[in-house]
Structure 1
Amino acid sequence: MSRPIRVGVQLMPAGAPDYRTWRHAVMYADELSTDVIFGYDHFHAPKFAKLVDGNAAFADVHENVHNFEGWTALASWGEITTRAEIGLLVTGIGYRNPDLLADMARTVDHISGGRVILGVGAGWYETDYTSYGFDFGTVKSRLDLFDENLLRIENRLRQLNPAPVRDIPILIGGSGVKRTLPAVARHADVWHSLLPIDDYRLATARLAELAEESERADGDIERSVNWRDERSAEEYLAAGATLFLTEIWPTADGYDFSTVEKMLKWRDEQG
């Protein structure tokens, strides 16, 4: 299926002077006609360390800065925005009861009039788990739980009364060939990847094969990548990506939307 080019922004709460500043940034992103606005699902601000094989790696210690919980904020976003889809990139499924998470997403979907995206991941930031009393486990145990909980989410969404406004899109982030891509092929409506372009081409081709094996149309899975610049975006666009994201961390002066404005201009120029 043919998809429009879309622009998304992830507005990080960590370090914002107050909630009002974060809230204003969300409203401004919506006013700009940004297609998707994401927060994050971290209880502490992850400190970036490096990128390893297309996956973000972060330091084990967190910075004690202002931070806000994501899902309660999303309920507010549903009221203060009118255009953009909203969600978290991504919900740590290991510390969210999946049946309750499905109900939360359904409720925010109604609050927003059918604009929520349910972003989920296996969870990777140990401090999120241990500081709030959750078992971090191992990579294998988290991925096993991820597979199990995706099924529970889908089952619960089918049981809720009233049902969601629409079939809530599931976004899965990550690029692991053995576990993540098969989960994307089975469950996701959106796949978000941080892979460099050559690796991305291989992974998206593999995802197409896995989707066919799962008796799904490859075109049903939207490809999402991070924005670097226009030249890079056009390479990813040619390789099938249609959703381009950037993240903004706050400063003492608030949020700088100059990159988002450039992305929106590029989007509109594509026709």
Structure 2
Amino acid sequence: MSERPTRIGVQIQPQQADYGAIREAVAAAEEIGVDIVFNWDHFFPLYGDPDGKHFECWTMLAAWAEQTSRVELGALVTCNSYRNPELLADMARTVDHISDGRLILGIGSGWFERDYTEYGYEFGTAGGRLNDLSEALPRIESRLQKLNPVPTRDVPVLIGGGGEKKTLRLVAEHADIWHTFADLETLEHKLGVLAGHCDAVGRDLAEIEVSVGVNGRGRDGHPIGLPDDTADALHGAGARLFTVGVGGPDYDLDGLAEWVAWRDQHNA
């Protein structure tokens, strides 16, 4: 794998919280020194009260672009099904400019059925949604180059998912960053599959940053965990972006500073 730097992200999950708490968490994460602040693209909470407070992804990213000055930002991940590809490209270009070139375009095929049914989108099948993503990605790339003004930079594309036949092929074809929640054994296997897809499309695997979700506040409600042997092993396998998730109503960021210090040790 390449010698790219190690980075730390935090996913501020926009659920079960007032927006003021979300705003404060973003400011605190930037102050602590993380590299990227993510949200997610859902319409209802994933954890806790299923009808609890929740906010929309892309309008929030525009606000974060104005609020912050250093961190990169993006969705982990945008659901391809919810927006026309050309519209999504225009939204991404706009947030890219608002942020002075700090947007990451995270995208996936979608999976949370309640979002689809309550907002009037056709849920279909997992394979069909992946086919839609395959069709959308070239349209997004094309529209980004047609807009006036064009983006401030080549907006990095992050694709989330681990499907070996379709998703990892799309990663090889389109992604600058691949995100997974895999454990070490699975990560090593998936990287082998991804390497095969990269060979097939004539791309160097080292061009793709490997991103992993690591221990954070999720279904079990525990606060952010600290770097440990597992994180070191994932780093040894090639992961370079480590993202912890935290949910509302109170965003407990204890532990983020330790992740930042761990990053700095690896980058020394």
Contact 1:41 1:90 in 2 (8 A): yes
Letter paired with 2:235: L
| Residue matched to 2:242 | 244
Q: Residue 161 of structure 1 aligns to which amino acid in structure 2?
A: N
- Measured against aligned partners, the alpha-carbon deviations of 1:119-144 in whole angstroms (never above 9, x if no partner) come to 00000001111101111111121111
Contact 1:230 1:266 in 2 (8 A): no
* C-alpha displacement of 1:101: 0.3
SS at 1:131's partner residue? helix
Give TM-score scaled by structure 1 length.
0.91
Counterparts of 1:119-138 in structure 2, within 5 Å, are 119-138=106-125
- Residue identity opposite 2:21 in structure 1: T
Residue 34 of structure 1 aligns with an amino acid whose one-letter code is V
Q: Partner amino acid for 2:12? A: L
For residue 259 of structure 1, report the CA deviation from its aligned partner.
2.2
CA deviation profile, 1:102-129 (whole Å, cap 9, x unmatched): 0000000000000000000000001111
Specify the alignment match of 2:167 in structure 1. 180
Shift of 1:209: 2.2
- For the pair 1:111 / 2:94, whether they are aligned, the reply is no
Name the structure 1 match of 2:30: 30
Counterparts of residues 58-69 of structure 1 (less than 5 Å) = 63-69=50-56
Would you say how many aligned residue pairs link Structure 1 and Structure 2? 255
Match of 2:153 in 1: 166
Note the residue ranges of structure 1 that are not aligned, 5 or more in a row: 49-61
SS in 1 for 2:255: helix
**After the TM superposition, which of the residue ranges 34-43 and 215-224 deviates more from structure 2?**
215-224
SS at match of 1:66: coil
Q: Secondary structure at the match of 1:234?
A: helix
Q: 1:74 aligns with which of 47, 51, 61?
A: 61
Unaligned 5+ segments in structure 2 are 216-226
- Kept in 2, the 8 Å contact 1:11–1:37? The answer is yes
Report what 1:45 is aligned to: 45
Q: How does 1:177-216 map to 2 (within 5 A)?
A: 177-216=164-203
Whole-Å Cα distance in 1 between the matches of residues 195 and 209 of structure 2? 11
RMSD: 1.2
Q: Which residue of 1 aligns with 2:211?
A: 224
Q: Which residue of 1 aligns with 2:3?
A: 2
Q: Distance in 2 between matches of 1:86 and 1:193?
A: 18
CA distance in 2, matches of 1:166, 1:11: 25
Counterpart CA distance in 2 for 1:76 and 1:178 is 37
Identity rate of aligned residues, in percent? 46
Q: For the Cα contact (< 8 Å) 2:181–2:214, is it kept in 1? A: no
Alignment correspondent of 2:219: none
- CA distance in structure 1 between the partners assigned to 2:151 and 2:57 by the alignment: 20
2:252 alignment partner in structure 1: 256
1:268, CA displacement in angstroms? 1.4
* Aligned-pair CA distance for 1:242: 0.3
Deviation at 1:2, TM superposition (A): 2.1
Amino acid in the other structure paired with 1:115: R
The corresponding residue for 2:12 is: 11
Cα deviation 1:236-271 (Å, max 9, x = unaligned)? 1111100001000123xx211112122111111222
Amino acid at match of 2:246: I
Q: Contact between 1:225 and 1:245, CA under 8 Å: does it hold in 2?
A: yes
Deviation, 1:9, is 0.2
Alignment deviations for residues 189-224 of structure 1 (CA, whole Å, 9 cap, x no partner): 000011111111011122122112212221110000
Mapped contact 1:46–1:63 kept (Cα < 8 A): yes
